[in-house]
Chain A
Amino acid sequence: MATVTTKLYQEPKEELISGSEAIGIACALADVDVITAYPIRPYDTVMQYVSRLKADGAFDFDYIIAESEHSQFEIVKHASSVGARTFTGSSGVGWFYAFEAITVTAGLRMPVVAMVGNRALDDPGAFGVEHNDAMAVRDLGWHLYWVATAQEALDMALIAYKVAEDPRVLLPFALSCDGSFLTHSQAIVQVPSQDQVDKFLPAYNRGSLQLHPDNPITVAPQANEDWLMEIRKQTDEAMRRTPAVIKEVYAEFKEVFGRGDDSPFIEQYMCEDADVILVGMGTLAMPTRVAVRRMRETGKKVGFLRVKFFRPFPTEELQEALKGAKGIAVIDRDYSYGSPGYGGVLFHELRSTMYPLDERPVMLNFIAGLGGREVMVSDVEEMVETTQKAIDTGKIDQETTWVAVRE
């Protein structure tokens, strides 16, 4: 964009940075106009980083230190309505404090991009990662993406703006990042140049929906039973359009930046001939891949599938990827009290995904790593053994297992 006054990266560069810093850099490269901050660990490291960029004159944006998460999300919603590109974020109960604003952001079709530094919900207060916070918006019309590495955090933040602001979509985008494991852990990241980003990411243009005296529209009047269903249906249609837009944007990203996976929706690791496929999200990928590699060395046919987009949920991709397996072990870093069969949220979504298939694999659920507890390689090996046993005996003793938990 010609209007950028401060250019952080004239040339592509390799940086040792955390997931939060990677997203902060993406915000600068995307020339975000308004950012709102409120402190809660672990997401707030991104705000500490962008405020430093602003203080140093490296990134020009209107920076508002809000007085609550609710205001954080309301402020960016309104900034987005006049055509400004926005960024905000939160964690755990902070995300819940903003819930009203979060739901109207999607309802109003504002392409706000937010970072969720996944954190366990109070009480008891805990700093560690859990996925229940971000997942709570799964029915509201937000894109929900689970990031695994700092590189992916930067790349997906750029992709998020392009997808969310596409006139065919106009839906907000949440980047879920595991607390500590991603937000605070440093890794080598390839940072693109400003020119590359400008080539990829056009300016946000709200068109005829922009609130401005030259376009005196009334936004969000009261609608009742006479019109509400039609408005809801429009949002549904936007969400149904987004997978095609994601594919398109992902292909463009790969072309401009020269990196990316086969699919924007899922990542498969040694899944091709696997009897047992482990499924999980976020940084769980790390110990799980190690375990899979070790078990492969002993001849076990095991694979790992990482769900990247939780919304829109990649139903067909998952059906295709999982249909050949004999058993599926779903690892949930979350839980849904009193849900069907008492299990995790990802497990329920996957069981629902697999239901239409003629031949359904055995499906087991493992609740692991809540509150930031580390998931060990040995835990993963045990999950595979339990699943293998169910396949061999044709009998499920226990559908949901809480892993490595004191009795």
Chain B
Amino acid sequence: MATVQDLPQIRGVKSIPVEEFYSSGHRTCQGCESALVMRLMIKAAGQRTIVLGSTGCMYVANTTYYSTPWVVPWMHTQLGSAGSAATGTAAGLSAMMRKGKMQNEPINVIAFCGDGGGVDMGLSALSAALQHEEYNLLIVCYDNESYANTDIQASGSTPWGANTTFSPVGKDIHIMNNRWKKNMTPMMAVGHPNMKYVATACASYGLDFNNKIRRALTAGGPTFIHCIDPCPKGWDYDPKYSHELGMLSIETGLWIQYEIIEGELQLNGPSRAIAKGIRKRKPVEEYLLRQGRFAHFTPQDLKVFQDKVDEQWEKWWIPGLVPITPQPDEDEADEEQ
């Protein structure tokens, strides 16, 4: 599969294709943003696509034997195997097309994983998949910040202090999850510099998400998109606020929207406005205190959280992306002395 499909950018909401390839037949929770991610993802990719789904909400809640929302071919893969599923599928198609055993045509290969499958267990397979420049494949990590399908257990992508069933608020310890969310997308981008497309996304910005999927699928080679998915069950809020929380995660500067196209970074939407100083970041408590999982936060906890977000915007080498402070140039250091 040397070539990619012709998937032009969608200019406005009126140009979004009407066809649905993720249809009825699923039983996701009310207000599930991950279900919307699936729907928008395959709408943008179209019918000539194979989707591989690793274990998680989007497996168990979507595909119960005898029913399926998928109009395109879909196959389950193991929890840590999104990378391997995409690689294997692309390799199989590639070999058969090259040897003339299958009609040669570009077929999109998309594998998705949750934060448990991608950020935790599947990290090594995902990284390996992103090294295979000979295959066109896209990995979408839908990050609802916990193992939401198994009962909301903390993952490596769960924010600091969040109340989960593995990090409950107790009499002795009220911040049980003392890990900070893994810096996943930059890890993928920096670790695999030959990748032609990497992006973060949020389904609250649907058109942006559609177009990111299309840019990824037409970039050639392996690509990666990481999206933040508000989860009413895991984050503990009224399902009607999913979109709003997605926007707040960006407006408070916790989640940063960007694309890295052939090594060039471009911030999108509110994140771009914040970086340019056009827009001020909202205080994190406007986002945190809307969710039950942070309801136990004391003013001190809120400050710890705010300080961490401030740090990534003010002290990181590339705000929100690269948490490294370069050594001052030796000559400059001498001059300072």
Q: Chain A interface (Cβ within 8 Å of chain B)?
A: 3-5, 31, 33-34, 60-62, 64, 66-68, 70-71, 74-84, 86, 100-101, 104, 203, 211-213, 215-224, 226-227
| A86→B84 CA distance, assembly (Å) | 14
Known A-B contacts A3-B101, A67-B128; A213 and B92 likewise in contact (beta carbons under 8 Å): no
Contacts of B127 in A (CB 8 A): 67
| A3→B124 CA distance, assembly (Å) | 35
| A364→B68 CA distance, assembly (Å) | 54
Q: Which residue of B lies closest to A82 (CB)?
A: B92
Known A-B contacts A61-B95, A75-B91; A220 and B81 likewise in contact (beta carbons under 8 Å): no
Known A-B contacts A64-B91, A78-B92, A84-B95; A212 and B75 likewise in contact (beta carbons under 8 Å): no
Contacts of A220 in B (CB 8 A): 75-76
- B181 at the binding interface (Cβ < 8 Å): no
Other A-B pairs, 13, CB within 8 Å; known A211-B89, A213-B72, A218-B63: A3-B100, A60-B98, A70-B80, A78-B89, A81-B89, A101-B78, A211-B73, A212-B50, A213-B47, A213-B50, A218-B70, A218-B75, A224-B64
- The answer to whether A78 touches B124 (Cβ under 8 A) is no
- The answer to whether B101 touches A83 (Cβ under 8 A) is yes
- B237 at the binding interface (Cβ < 8 Å): no
- The answer to whether B95 touches A33 (Cβ under 8 A) is yes
Contacts of B118 in A (CB 8 A): none
Known A-B contacts A66-B84, A67-B127, A71-B125; A79 and B65 likewise in contact (beta carbons under 8 Å): no
Q: Which residue of B lies closest to A227 (CB)?
A: B65
Q: Which of B47, B63, B88 contacts A221 (CB 8 A)?
A: B63
Residues 93-134 of B, flagged 1 when their CB comes within 8 A of A and 0 if not, give 111101111100001000000000000000011011000100
| A222→B93 CA distance, assembly (Å) | 26
Q: Which of A68, A83, A221 has the most CB of B within 10 A?
A: A221
- The answer to whether B91 touches A84 (Cβ under 8 A) is yes
20 cross-chain CB contacts under 8 A: A33-B96, A64-B87, A68-B124, A74-B81, A82-B50, A82-B89, A83-B92, A83-B102, A84-B93, A104-B78, A211-B75, A212-B50, A212-B107, A213-B49, A213-B107, A215-B73, A218-B73, A219-B75, A220-B75, A227-B66
Known A-B contacts A81-B92, A212-B73; A222 and B59 likewise in contact (beta carbons under 8 Å): yes
Q: Which residue of A lies closest to B124 (CB)?
A: A67
Q: Which of A78, A81, A215, A227 contacts B84 (CB 8 A)?
A: A78
Known A-B contacts A70-B125, A222-B63, A222-B64; A62 and B94 likewise in contact (beta carbons under 8 Å): yes
| A251→B125 CA distance, assembly (Å) | 42
- B316 at the binding interface (Cβ < 8 Å): no
Known A-B contacts A60-B98, A71-B128, A227-B66; A80 and B60 likewise in contact (beta carbons under 8 Å): no
Q: Which of B65, B75, B107, B125 contacts A67 (CB 8 A)?
A: B125
- The answer to whether B91 touches A79 (Cβ under 8 A) is yes
- The answer to whether A33 touches B75 (Cβ under 8 A) is no
Q: Which residue of B lies closest to A4 (CB)?
A: B99
- B44 at the binding interface (Cβ < 8 Å): no
In the complex, which residues 32-72 of chain B have their Cβ closer than 8 Å to any Cβ of chain A? 47-50, 52, 59-60, 63-68, 70-72
Q: Which of B59, B94, B95, B128 has the most CB of A within 10 A?
A: B95
- The answer to whether B125 touches A78 (Cβ under 8 A) is no
- B211 at the binding interface (Cβ < 8 Å): no
Q: How many Å from the CB of A221 to the closest CB on chain B?
A: 4
| A83→B92 CA distance, assembly (Å) | 7
- B83 at the binding interface (Cβ < 8 Å): yes
- The answer to whether B77 touches A213 (Cβ under 8 A) is no
- The answer to whether B73 touches A221 (Cβ under 8 A) is no
Q: Which of B76, B101, B125, B132 contacts A33 (CB 8 A)?
A: B101
- The answer to whether B60 touches A82 (Cβ under 8 A) is no
| A211→B84 CA distance, assembly (Å) | 16
Contacts of B99 in A (CB 8 A): 3-5, 31, 33, 60
Known A-B contacts A221-B65, A222-B63; A79 and B92 likewise in contact (beta carbons under 8 Å): yes
- The answer to whether B68 touches A78 (Cβ under 8 A) is no
Known A-B contacts A33-B92, A34-B95, A66-B128; A78 and B85 likewise in contact (beta carbons under 8 Å): yes
Contacts of A203 in B (CB 8 A): 101
| A337→B253 CA distance, assembly (Å) | 57
Q: How many Å from the CB of A55 to the closest CB on chain B?
A: 16
Q: How many Å from the CB of A342 to the closest CB on chain B?
A: 35
- The answer to whether B78 touches A74 (Cβ under 8 A) is yes
Q: What 10 A-B pairs are tightest by C-beta distance, nearest first? A: A78-B88, A79-B92, A84-B92, A74-B84, A221-B63, A75-B88, A220-B76, A223-B65, A33-B95, A67-B128
Q: How many Å from the CB of B285 to the closest CB on chain A?
A: 39
Contacts of B107 in A (CB 8 A): 212-213
Q: Which of A62, A212, A217, A224 contacts B95 (CB 8 A)?
A: A62
Q: How many Å from the CB of A201 to the closest CB on chain B?
A: 14
| A33→B102 CA distance, assembly (Å) | 12
Q: How many Å from the CB of A138 to the closest CB on chain B?
A: 21
Q: Which residue of B lies closest to A72 (CB)?
A: B84
Q: How many Å from the CB of A233 to the closest CB on chain B?
A: 14
Contacts of A31 in B (CB 8 A): 99
| A61→B92 CA distance, assembly (Å) | 9
Contacts of A70 in B (CB 8 A): 78, 80-81, 84, 125
Contacts of A67 in B (CB 8 A): 124-125, 127-128
Q: How many Å from the CB of B69 to the closest CB on chain A?
A: 9
Q: Which of A4, A5, A62, A221 contacts B91 (CB 8 A)?
A: A62
Contacts of B72 in A (CB 8 A): 213, 216
Q: How many Å from the CB of A286 to the closest CB on chain B?
A: 38
Contacts of B59 in A (CB 8 A): 222
Q: How many Å from the CB of A39 to the closest CB on chain B?
A: 14
Q: Which residue of B lies closest to A83 (CB)?
A: B96
| A62→B47 CA distance, assembly (Å) | 26
| A33→B98 CA distance, assembly (Å) | 10
Q: How many Å from the CB of B87 to the closest CB on chain A?
A: 5
Q: Which residue of B lies closest to A74 (CB)?
A: B84
